[in-house]
């Protein structure tokens, strides 16, 4: 039986993709004491929860799936992996032809595994599809705690290597390994299994405290190597986990649905969030960054251009072709 579609999860996707675009549009000075720069730094720390939201949401829905046998599981794995992998390859191809290559075969393979731009997220999500049976059994109380510890150790080591030692890792090699994000799908599984009705005040307190720590930690780390703004901080991890419990709560869903206009706009954005993810960096890198220097301005213009292109393409070409390139 097909489950009823809940538009609140489109809202979460819409929120997360706006966070992603803001993250990539960030242009402020994190060390400045100016009001605008401080506000942008605060928002920059808030939006670190974008990828965790996407991962937890995928896991939330996977927690509801009960595969009757291995054949059904592998069929699901294949269809869902190809559904996101094919559009990634299509949108990576222009970058492949633009770049200079020392080794064409190596570069082509790197493209196929999601090595270009921000496409590390595709192999990352496929890894979590593969790990579905493990999460199904493991994402319980102590299992979540163990995964948090593993995640925290990995993040601490990564933070030390990158922020203190100045070792430069490509986005793919730093962020594609599942261990960098291993706790967030566990949260999605946990909420999917145990329900969305729980007390929110402890999570609000933890989110506030960890966000303050994240801002302070970012300002402390940035002078070393110009790093420390992203999710690879323990404080950002704790903030993201707290935010997941807040956002996935049924109580918050009820309150947010009351602000109809804003809510519905973000829901509509969420429905095309995958397409925005695939194309927004093209607009940002090749056009917007060269003419707009303010973070909010870049975010708004990039979002508008991405949404307009997706809507235009969906109205122009056949639905199946639009879906193949990631415009659903």
Give the contacts of 286 (CB within 8 A, at least 6 positions apart): none
Looking at the predicted structure, is the pLDDT value of residue 141 above 80?
no
Per-residue pLDDT, 136: 83
Q: Is the pLDDT of residue 258 over 80?
A: no
Phi and psi torsions of 318, nearest 5°: -60, 145
Closest residue by Cα to residue 323 from 264, 251, 285, 271: 271
Residue 57 contacts by C-beta under 8 Å, 6 or more apart in sequence? 9, 12, 13, 16, 188
What is the spatial distance between Cα 319 and Cα 328, in angstroms, rounded to a whole number? 8
Residue range 233-256: mean pLDDT, rounded: 95
State in Å, rounded, how far the first CA of the chain is from the last one: 22
**For 159-213, what is each residue's pLDDT tens digit?**
889 888 888 888 899 999 999 999 999 999 999 999 999 999 999 999 999 999 9
What integer pLDDT is reported at residue 2 of this predicted model?
55
Helix/strand/coil percentages in the chain, nearest 5:
75, 0, 25
**Rounded distance between C-alpha atoms, residue 215 and residue 84, angstroms:** 34
User: Any idea where the domains of the chain sit in the sequence?
Assistant: 29-258
* pTM (two decimals): 0.94
How many beta carbons lie within 10 A of that of residue 289, not counting itself? 15
Q: What is the pLDDT of residue 83?
A: 96
Angle formed at CA 32 by CA 31 and CA 38, multiple of 5 degrees = 95
pLDDT above 90 coverage of the chain, percent: 79
pLDDT at 1: 47
Q: Which two tokens stand for residue 288?
A: 């917007």
Mean pLDDT, residues 301-328 taken together: 95
Residues 5-46 have pLDDT tens digits of 889 999 999 999 999 999 999 999 999 999 999 999 999 999
With beta carbons less than 8 A apart as the criterion, state whether 49 and 239 touch: yes
pLDDT at 117 over 50: yes
pLDDT exceeds 80 at position 75: yes
- What mean pLDDT do residues 92-115 have? 92
pLDDT of residue 200: 96
In the block, residue with structure tokens 């940002």: 284
- pLDDT of the residue at 3: 65
Alpha helices (H) along the chain: 7-25, 35-46, 50-62, 70-98, 104-112, 121-130, 132-138, 141-159, 171-175, 183-194, 201-225, 234-247, 250-256, 260-271, 273-283, 289-291, 295-316, 319-324
Quick one: average pLDDT of 230-259?
A: 92
136, two tokens:
């199904």
Q: Which residues of 6-21 are buried (b: 16+ CB within 10 A; e: fewer)?
A: ebbbbbbbbbbbbbbb
Integer-rounded Cα radius of gyration of the chain: 20
| pLDDT higher than 60, residue 299 | yes
Question: Which whole-number Å values give the CA distances from 135 to 33, 138, 270, 320, in the listed order?
Answer: 44, 5, 26, 32
Rounded to an integer, the average pLDDT of 60-83 is 91
Contact, 312 vs 327, CB < 8 A?
no
Reported as a single tens digit per residue, the pLDDT across 202-219 is 999 999 999 999 999 999
Which residue in this structure is represented by tokens 């991405």?
306
pLDDT beyond 50 at 284: yes
The pLDDT, as a whole number, for residue 277 is: 98
Report the distance separating Cα 61 and Cα 32, nearest Å. Answer: 42
Q: What letter would DSSP give residue 161? A: I
């Amino acid at each position: 039986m097909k489950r009823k579609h809940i538009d609140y999860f489109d809202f979460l996707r819409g929120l997360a993709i706006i966070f992603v675009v803001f993250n990539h549009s960030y242009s402020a000075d994190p060390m400045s004491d100016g009001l605008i720069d401080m506000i942008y730094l605060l928002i920059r720390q808030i939006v670190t929860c974008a990828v965790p939201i996407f991962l937890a949401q995928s896991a939330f829905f996977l927690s509801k799936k009960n595969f009757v046998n291995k054949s059904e599981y592998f069929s699901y794995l294949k269809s869902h992996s190809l559904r996101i992998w094919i559009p990634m390859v299509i949108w990576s191809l222009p970058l492949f032809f633009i770049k200079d290559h020392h080794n064409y075969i190596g570069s082509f393979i790197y493209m196929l595994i999601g090595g270009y731009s921000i496409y590390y997220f595709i192999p990352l999500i496929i890894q979590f599809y593969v790990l579905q049976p493990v999460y199904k059994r493991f994402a319980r109380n102590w299992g979540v705690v163990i995964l948090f510890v593993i995640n925290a150790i990995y993040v601490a080591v990564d933070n030390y290597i990158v922020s203190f030692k100045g070792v430069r890792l490509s986005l793919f090699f730093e962020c594609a390994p599942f261990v960098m994000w291993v706790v967030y799908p566990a949260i999605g599984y946990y909420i999917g299994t145990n329900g969305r009705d729980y007390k929110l005040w402890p999570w609000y307190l933890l989110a506030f405290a960890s966000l303050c720590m994240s801002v302070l930690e970012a300002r402390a780390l940035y002078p070393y190597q110009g790093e420390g703004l992203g999710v690879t901080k323990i404080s950002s991890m704790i903030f993201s986990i707290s935010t997941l419990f807040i956002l996935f709560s049924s109580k918050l869903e009820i309150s947010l649905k009351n602000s109809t206009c804003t809510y519905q706009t973000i829901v509509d954005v969420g429905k095309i969030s995958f397409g925005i993810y695939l194309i927004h960096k093209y607009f940002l890198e090749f056009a917007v960054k060269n003419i707009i220097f303010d973070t909010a301005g870049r975010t708004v213009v990039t979002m508008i251009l991405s949404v307009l292109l997706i809507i235009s393409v969906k109205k122009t070409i056949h639905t199946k072709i639009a879906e193949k390139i990631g415009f659903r």
